[in-house]
Structure 1
Amino acid sequence: MDSFIGIRFKKGTAKRFQEFSRTHFKSHTEALETMLDFFFYNKISPKEKLGPTGRTIEANLKKRINAVIAIMRNMEKSQTKPTVAMLESLFRTEEPKKKPLILEKKIIGEQKEVRFREKQNYNNEL
C-alpha cells in the first residue's frame, strides 16, 4: 500500500477540490494525478488561458452572421431588385402605344358640308 502525505491547503480551496474530485473521479489522488498529467502531456501552464471560450466564439459568430445578413439585404435592395425590374421591363411583350405622326392630319373630323353642289337639271327629268 502506498503511503500518504499531508499537504496544507486553504479551507475553501480544499472544499472546492473535494467537490470536484467526488463528481469526476473515484479518489482525490486520482483527480490530482489526472490534472498533473493533463498539464504535463499538453505542455501548458495552469496559469495560461487556452483561448476564447465557447460563449465568446458564439457571440463573435452571431455578430459576423448579422453583419453578413445586413450586407445581403443591402445588396438585394440596391442591386438585385432594380436589375430584375429592368430585365422584366425589357422582356415585356406589350405593344407600344401608337401615336399619330406630327405631320399626319386628322381627315375624319375635318369633313364639313359640301360647299358646291351640282345643279340639278329639271328639264331632263320631265
Structure 2
Amino acid sequence: MDLRQMHKKAKEMDSFITIRFKRATAKRFQEFSKTHFKSHTEAMATMLDFFFCNEISPREKLGPTGRTIEAKLLKRINAVIAIMRDMEKTQTKPTVAMMESLFQAEEPKRKPLILEKKFTEERKEVRFQEKRNTSNEP
C-alpha cells in the first residue's frame, strides 16, 4: 500500500479513535503538534509517512547533528587557516623577498683589479719637474 492509498483510506475513515499515552508523552506530542502542524492527526500522519517513506526506524541514529557538523567544519577551517598562515610566513614571504631583491638589485660597484692602474688620474698630477739652473743664465 503506497502513501496515496493510505491517505485515501484515512480520509474515508474521518471518525476519531482514542489512543492511550502516558501524560508526559501526550503533552510533548501536543506541544510539538501545535508548533509544526494544524492538527494532531496531521502531525501523526506526517511522522508515520516520514518513517515509512525513508524506511528507517525512529530508534535509529541518523548520524551527526547540524551543530556537531558545524563545529567540526569550523575546526577544519581554522586548521586550514593556520596552515596557510604558516606557509605564508615560512615560504611565500621569504620567496617574494628574494625575488624582489633580485629584480631590484643595483649594479654592483666595479672595483678595479689589483694590477690595474688608473693612468688618467696619475697623468694629471705632475710628479717630477725639471729643475732649471737659475744661477748661470746667459
TM-score when normalising by structure 1: 0.79
Tell me the equivalent position of 1:15.
Answer: 27
Runs of 4+ residues over 4 Å off in structure 1: 104-108
| Residue in structure 2 matching 1:47, options 36, 50, 59 | 59
Counterpart-to-counterpart distance in 2, 1:90 and 1:2 = 87
1:1-126 aligned at under 5 Å gives the runs 2-103=14-115, 118-124=131-137
Identity %: 74
Give the CA RMSD over aligned residues: 2.8
Aligned pairs, number? 123
TM-score w.r.t. length of structure 2:
0.73
For 1:69, give the aligned amino acid.
Answer: I
CA distance in structure 2 between the aligned counterparts of 1:60 and 1:22, rounded to whole angstroms: 34
Distance 1:27 1:118, change over 3 A: closer
Instruction: Please list every run of 5 or more consecutive structure 1 residues that lacks an aligned counterpart in the other structure.
Output: none
Unpaired runs of 5+ residues, structure 2, are 1-12
